[in-house]
Amino acid sequence: MVTKKSKKEDNGFALGKENYRLMAIGFGIIVIGFLLMLGGKSEDPNEFSEAIFSFRRITLAPVIVLAGFVFEIWAIMKKPPAKE
């Protein structure tokens, strides 16, 4: 019995090559967001440091991490282009 090859080649992976590349980019965005949260500690443990409440750590970094997770969801849900 002869079967036709489907338009998509079955390479054993759940997603296409582009999806994995986009997921790697999303992972990089998330890592950058977490790196932006670093720092702000006080040299003396008995002294409070206001540096932990900077705009970068409280606002910018969480927004970047959230954007990275949204990008990851989009990368997973994106359909590969149709092949002819």
58 within domain boundaries: yes
What tens digit of pLDDT does each residue of 1-22 get? 555 555 555 667 788 889 999 9
Q: pLDDT digit string (tens) for 19-60?
A: 999 999 999 999 999 999 998 777 888 888 888 889 999 999
| Owning domain of residue 25 | 17-77
Using CA atoms, how far apart are residues 26 and 17, in angstroms rounded to an integer?
A: 14
Structural domain includes residue 25: yes
Q: How many domains are there within the chain? A: 1
9 inside domain: no
The neighbour count for residue 33, using CB atoms within 10 Å, is: 19
Alpha helices (runs of H) in the chain, residue ranges in sequence order: 17-36, 55, 61-77
- By 3-state DSSP, what share of the chain in percent is helix, strand and coil, each rounded to 5? 55, 0, 45
Q: Which two tokens stand for residue 63?
A: 């927004």
Asked if residue 10 belongs to a domain, the reply is no
